[in-house]
Amino acid sequence: MYNPQVPTDGHSPNADADFGDGARAFGKVPEQGNQRIRHLLKCFGLRTSLIRLKVIDALLTAADNQRTLGVRGVHSHLLELGIPLSFLSVREVLKRLCSEGVITLNADKSYSLHAEAAKVLEGRA
């Protein structure tokens, strides 16, 4: 039976599964905002969703302004942008991004981009 998720070009679907080589396989990192984040999610094997894009963008914006954000800060930022997501949804996305190694939970309960994810965004991975 045909499965659209399995590649038909003869390559194993797990050939690029480990992060080290897989990130380089995607080529140059796009410079535009959402495209960079889409590339980052793809490198970590995650699907792109609006909430993931917005949560990561909020963390990047805060980092650019030398600020840190916790769950409440990210949630408030999204509400200010007119994105009506529940607090629980934001918390679950942050937890998932942490478990996948995209972001880290700091000692002060704030979140920041993981060093490996920063390398991907900078095109050094």
Residue 21 has pLDDT above 80, yes or no: no
Residue 13 is assigned to a structural domain of this protein: no
Residue 113's nearest CA partner among 124, 100, 13 is 100
The parent domain of residue 43 ranges over 34-122
Q: How confident is the model at residue 33 (pLDDT cuts 50, 70, 90)?
A: low
Task: Give the CATH number, domain containing residue 70.
Answer: 1.10.10.10
Mean pLDDT of the chain: 81
What's the structural domain count of the chain? 1
Residue bearing tokens 């190694």: 101
Q: What is the pTM of this model?
A: 0.72
Residue 94's nearest CA partner among 70, 120, 65, 66 is 70
Q: pLDDT tens-digit profile of 70-107?
A: 999 999 999 999 998 999 999 999 999 999 999 999 99
Residue bearing tokens 């002060």: 108
